[in-house]
Structure formats: C-alpha cells, structure tokens
Structure 1
Amino acid sequence: MASGKLSPRQKMINLMYLVFIAMLAMNMSKEVLSAFGYMNEKLIENNITATTKNQDVLDNLATKASEQPEKYKSLYEIASKVNTLSNDFNTYLESQKTFFLEGKEDKTDYETMDQSNLVDEYFFKNNKPTDEGQKFLDNINGYRNSIIELLGDKSPLKASINKRFDTSDQEIKDGIKLQPWLNNRYEGFPLISTVTNLTAMQTDIKTTQSEIFSNLLGGQLESDVSMSNYKTILIPEKSAFFQGENFKGKIVLGRYDASLKPSEVVVNGRKVTKIEDGGAILEFPAGSVGERDIKGKFVFIENGEPVEIEINSSYAVIPKPNSAVISADKMNVVYRGVVNPMTISIPGIPDNKVTATGSGLRKGSGSGKYIMTPSSGREVTINVSGTLPNGQKVSSSQKFRIKDIPSPRGTIRKQSGHIKMPKTSLGKATVGVELADFDFDLKLSTTGFTVKVPGQSAVVVRGSRMNVQAQKAISKAKRGDVVTLFDIKSTISGNSGYRIKPASPVSVEIQ
C-alpha cells in the first residue's frame, strides 16, 4: 500500500484504512479490559463465599477441639495458624489493590484502567524490583514457606502449594530464555489485569485454606475408623441375674456397625460363633453370687494383618429376692389427712408383675409409685407379692404407723410466739397458722380465734382478721400490755373434712 507513487486520493484511502484498523484495535482493547474487570468481580464473589465456608469449618473444628481435645486440639492449633497466616497475607494483597485503585472515582470503569505506568513505577526501577516490589515477592514466598513448614515436608499438599505460589523465573521462549516472575506477570500489563491477578492470588489463599482444613479432618476421620480405635461394649439382657440363671447379652463395638465381621471372638477362653449386627451373642451360666468378669478379644483383619481388641468387662450376680423393698418417700410413718406418696418394688421383678395391697393404698402414676391415704386406726399393713421370671412367687408385708397432723402454731405477720407491735397494727393484722418442720407442704386457712386483752372480756373472732369487737378491745390496751390470741382454728385447703388441732397461741406485747 505504501510502495510506488500514490495519488492524493489513494493516500487518503490508505490513511482511512489505518484509522479504521486503529479504531478496531482500540475497541478490542476496551473489551479485553472489561473482561478482566468482570472476571475480578466474579473472583471477589467466590472469595466471599469461600471465606464463609472456611470460617464455618474452623468454627466446627474449634467445637470438636473443646469436646474431644485429645483428637482435635492439635489439628485446631494447626488450622488456626494457617488461618492467621492466610488472613495476614490476604490483608496485604487487599491493601495493594486499594493502593492501585486509589483515586479512581468509578472503580468499575474498567475501560479506563488500560495504563501500566502506575504498577511499573511501583514494582520496578531500572528493570529491577523496587522496595515495594521486593516486599511483594517476600510476602508471597513467606506465606508459601510458612504454610509448608507448618504442614511438614511430607504433606500431600506441598507440591500444589509450591506450584500455586511459585515465584521462580519464567520461560518465555523455547525453554531457553528466562524472565523474572515479577516482570513476567506484572510489567507492562494494564492496571485492571494487575488488580485481577491480585484477586486471583486471594482465591489461591482461600483454596489453600480449604484444602488444608479438609486434609486435617480427613486424616482424623481415617484414624477414627481404624480398628485400633474401637472399644468393646457389653450389653446384658438385664442389669442383674439371679443365681442359677443363664447370663444373656451381647458384646458390640462402639460404632454398632452391622457390617463389621470379626474373624474371631474369644470370651473367657471359649470361641463365640454367633454374631449378629456386629455383636457377639453370649449365653452361658451366670455363676455364683458376686462380680463376674468377662474377658477375651475381638480379632479383625486390617490391611492383611490381624488387629486384636481387648474385651474387659464384668457383670453382677445377685441372690434371688425373698422379700419386697417398701419405703415411704417422705418419712417412716404415714399421716392421716394427707396424701402419702410411696414407692413399692421387688428387685429383679418388673412393676407389672408386682401387686401391693393395704387399707387406703392405691396405685399412683409411674413405675412402683403408690398413694396411701390412711383413715382410722394407729397402724396399716401393706402386703406385696410378685412373680419372678421363672414363675416363682415371692411375697412380703410391712406395717406403718399412722400419725395425725401435728398441731400448727399461730402467727401474726408470719411471726410466732411472743412478738411486739403497736396496737393499731395489731388491730389490722391477719392471724395465720403454719406447720413448722412438717414434711408435707400443706396450705392451711385460719377459720377463727379468740382475743384476750388485759382488763377486757375475751372476744371470739371468725375468720383470720380482727372483727369490730376485737378491734375495740385492742384499742383499750395500754403500753406494755400483753394481748393473747389463742384457740386458733384452721382447716386444710381442699380437705375441710379433716380436723386440724388448734394452733399454739401468740402473745403480742403492745408498744
């Protein structure tokens, strides 16, 4: 197009072509810049999600470390150090992005971020790294080396971490010519590509954290399912056995995994061949009364080698019962006028096989629970019978004394005995009663009392408060006089048919 002698018209056409090509190149450049910007936005969104997930895993590991420190404490310590190193490096990268974008009013106007001079002047001088450029390299290398040192040279993640944060010289032509990593990745590139590169490196940090956390938990999980970590558990058919019975129960492993098939089970020197749901089913004579040992081993094959798990447990053999166990939940007596809760049972016999009878006795709510409401007399006999698992009958009886509810004591302002108060206060006071040191919580209501003021006739009052006559008599009392309240009568709330003994009197010295 430029060869030979051209006419002015042709020169004009050629110039127009050049301008057109330049415009196409400019448009293409703007599209590429925008593409870098959109990629940066996507990476930032992914980093936010990854940060949340990594924190959730770290929090879960912290919980496990507090619940099972012997398993997870050391793993949590490593994860915490990884998290600290990662957060510090991520913060440094974020500060670099903030510096490069400082002064940009619209940080999403990617088409204007086509200059490279800001990054070039910040990272390079005379084709060598500036102090900030060297600091950037030191941060990358320091993070990589610290993580690998923390995990150990034998970590399966070492190779990927080295590759992810590699800052060695880069090949640029046929594997012969090398260029420093910093120049290769950042010199002469548009500003938006540098910002996107820094965000991508933050993504690498999140990925590294995630891989390390998964590797730590995965290693512990592999350890947990190893046969050497199982414990045997003895599950007897019942908690105790009578002399002459056969012991029935099974020994299982802690995971209760039905897929576990031991190659051999030996208990008390004998091989056990019946295996169900991962447990060895046991049945043999229970033996004499006392504590009996169960010793032996489970044998599994793991990686072609036998692994033995010790069985070391025990059970108790008790004699057959010949009497019932009967106890009053409150005292060794029962009280007339109240509901007395009782527990009646026979060891080794279920509640539905036990029968208890007695005057005023009825079944309550719950296993072995009864209610006794005695009426007349001074004693009550409770008869108990039960049926043993082998069909044998056992029976027993026991007598309980019946007592009346003790006399309550009178109170003024919840005080009893001898008290002091002004006569105006006494005239407005309420007379009450209480059962001191009584095991049942009874609510008593005052129904009447008698007031005696020195020099005045006694006044009978109905209810719990002074009537007009009593107030008039009290108003004539002098300072130092002792007013007596006696014959204080009361009833049980909800049981007015039972007659409570009169309460002890109250003496009030007038102030």
Structure 2
Amino acid sequence: MAGGKLSARQKMINLMYLVFIAMLAMQMGKKVLSAFGRMNETFEETVTSTTQANENAIKQLQALAQEQPEKYTPILNAASALHQKSTEFNNYLASLKDEMLAKSEDKKNYEAMSSSNYVDEMFFKDGKETAKGKEFVNKVTSYREDVLKLLDPKKDADLIKKVKKWFDTSPDKHGKKGKREEPWLASRFEGFPLISSVSNISKMQTDVAATEKTYMDSSISGQRKSDVSMTNYDAMVVFDKNAYYPGEKLSGKIILGKNDPTIKAKEVIINGNKVKEDQIKAGQVILSGSAGNVGEHELKGKFIFLEDGKPVEIPIVGGKYSVIPKPNEAIISADKMNVVYRGVANPLSISVPGVPDNKVKPSAPGLKQISAGKYVMNPPKAREVVIRVTAKLPNGQTVTSSKKFRVKDIPSPTGTIRGQDGYQKMSKSSLVKSTVGAVLKDFVFDLDLYVSEFKVKVPGKPTITCSGKKMSSQATRAINKAKRGDAIIIFDIKAKLKGNSSYRLKKTSQVTVEITS
C-alpha cells in the first residue's frame, strides 16, 4: 500500500479499509458510552442502598442514646454532624448531575451522551475555570476538610486515609517523571463525554455514602466491642459476711463484675424503697443512710434498665453486712508524722470511733482545740509529750487512752543568695543587688523565714556585718574591689521565724559566691 502509483483497485481497497475502521471506531465508541451508562446506574443504586443504611444507622443510634445517653449521645452527636455534612454535599452533587442532564431528552440513551460541550461550558472558559467550576472544587475541598475535623486521628486512621484519597483536589501529575501538572477539574472533566462526567459525579456520591457508612459501622461496632472487652471488668471479692471472729473460717467468692460508668439505671429499689434520682450515678448507686442496730443486715432490691424500649430488671444479691459494737480505744494521729516540732503549731486529729467529738476530751501541755476533732500543739521544752484522751461512750462508760510523741527542734536553715544555696557564681554587679535569705529544705512544714543580719567576707578585706537582707554600702564597696575568681563568703546569717521571732533557730549554713566579672 506504500510506494509507487496505486491502481484504481488498490485505491478502492484502501478506501474500504478506512470506512471499515471508521465504522468500527463508531461502534466501539457507542459501546464505551453504554458501558459508562451502566456503570453510572450501578453507582446510583449503591448510593441509594448505602444512604438508606446510613439513615437506619442514625435511627439506631438515636434509640441507643435514649436508652444509654451517657454512652451513646457523644457518638450520636458526631455521627449526626457527619450525616448533615454528607447529606448537604450529596444533594449538591445530585443537583449538579441534574443540571448536566437537563438538555438530554432520554436520560437512558447513553450513546447520545458523547459530547463534552455542555460540561466544558459549565466548568471552563478560555482555558480557565468558571465560577461554577471553582464552586465545585471548593465544595469538594470543604467537604473533605469538614470530615477530617470530625474524625479521630487514632480511631479513624484508616478512614482518614480514604477520605484524603477520595476527595483529593490537588493537581494530577503526568509524564514519566510526573513533572507535568494538570488541574484536578480539567484532568477529570474537560473534554470527556457527558456520560463520563455524570458517572464521575455518581462515583463521588458513592464515596460520600461510603465515608458515612464506614464511620457509622466503626462507631457502633467499636462501642459494642468495647462493651464486651475484658478491660471493662473488675475482680470483686464478695464475702459471705462482712465481720468475722478470731479463728472463724473465712468464706466467700471472687467474681467478675462489669465496670461501665456510662450506664445509668432508670430506677433502683432497695428494701422496698425507691432510691432518689440524685443517688443514681453513672454505673453505680450511692448508698446513704443509717447502718442500723448491731447484728446481721441485708440489702435486697433490683436495678431497672431500659433495653429496646422495654424495662429489664436485675436483682441485687450479696447485700449482707454486719453492724458491730463500737470500739473503746482512742485513735490519735499526728498529721505530720509521730513527731511534733518545737516552735511550730503542730496539727493533730484526735477522735474515738463511735464517740461524738464533744464527748472526747484530750489533754497535754501546749494542746489547743481549733475545731471538732482538730487540734494544734505548741510543745514545751521537754523531749517528749504525752497526750491523754478521755471519752464517754454512748452507754455511759468512760474510757481513757494515751500516746507519746517525740519533741524535736526545727532543723538548721540553709542560707541562700538570690534564692540559691551552696556554691554559686555571679558577677559583682549581680551580687551587690542580691537578697540574702534562709530556707528550711525538705522540712515537713512550710515556714516563712526572714533574715535580720548577716556577715560578708571579701578576700583581703575585714569582715563586714550587714543589717537586714541586703548588702550594705560598705559591703558593696568591698565587693566591687574583689577580683575575678575571688570567693566571697556570706555567713553568720541570722534567720528568724515570721510570726514567732522569739524562737531561736539553729545556725544557718553559709553561702559562697565566686566572682565571674
């Protein structure tokens, strides 16, 4: 067929080949358009069924939130927010398809939807995106970002990847090295047959529906998986009774009980009485009331929950307990260990179990009551102090008890310069402006100290005494004459307790400062 002059017969054969190829191309083009149409129908059927499933999931969550609001209301709120965003975007896409197909007389004649003119005019003009095209891209981008804000980076990691991929509007890259970029909208909609563009929109609708369904399924199944997880169970010891005599056989059992703070009973009845609403908390009931007289007692009743709109009763078992006689020995404890410190108001709690505070009478040198059961002690000079307690029991009997405490002095203060102790480095200009202080490091009480006097020793200069906590003018002059590397010692720091200046503290440690400049 190439080279030389062709005969009339050969020309006719060539023409027949061209006509055949053209007819074949036309036939293949129609088949491709029909394939796009059938694909679009499949997409639309998927959107319809998935959207209905999502509506059913929302209704299911609404019912669960009514039965167990603490557990399912947060899930319902998040799912509803996603459902609203998805519905709005899906409706926009549906209106866009309707607009594309507005001039098509037969919406099922896919072979007639070969032209790209309508979509090209809708989205593009003079090589640029129209306002309609920009709106479409912005809608896709906004939906993607809105959904990503609603998803949890940990729980929804897989869905986040899919959303970023499905609704990615970044430019497409072409060529072997991917250096040639084409805008997302042009790459997918410019120059394509109408039915191809319609199918593209339908595919995006399936992605919207799939996003919502994946989130719904994950949220509901995730919560149910959490409900049955063994991490939600506690091992609880249940004795046959709650009081035993010495040498008596211990009996009971260890059971697994579910711990779910999101479950709240609709109603609780104990010993025939309805429990008040404010005593029914998440996952538990707060017991409050008299224990009763000495002897064996039992709590009986039931929890009432709503499940599928119907009441479900759970009986209360194992509610036996014992009320035992009150002890007759005083309990005395020092809030700051078993030592009291001289020069400090030491807090003490003194009580006798089962005896009102007004029937408890403690006595000791320096002991003073500040409120019911609460006392402070300013111990004497002795090395020990004994607190004696007399209590009158409900039966009229009087019991006594006592406890001995050691009396210790406040430990030696630690000298500081600019709030730092030990060996410090600073410039002369900083040192002369610094404040000398004293602290009680690691002491059980937070006591405030103040410095009334201290001494400064500069190498080659006589010792200088300063009043208060700041350097005197004489000390400042001496420090300014010091050389770099000189060690200036601040010692004989006179520290006193604020509010108790008469108490003589032990010797305060010195501070050494090396001059840097």
TM-score of Structure 1 vs Structure 2, range by shorter chain: 0.3 to 0.5
TM-score w.r.t. the length of structure 1 is: 0.47
Q: Which has the larger radius of gyration?
A: 1
* TM-score, normalised with respect to structure 2: 0.47
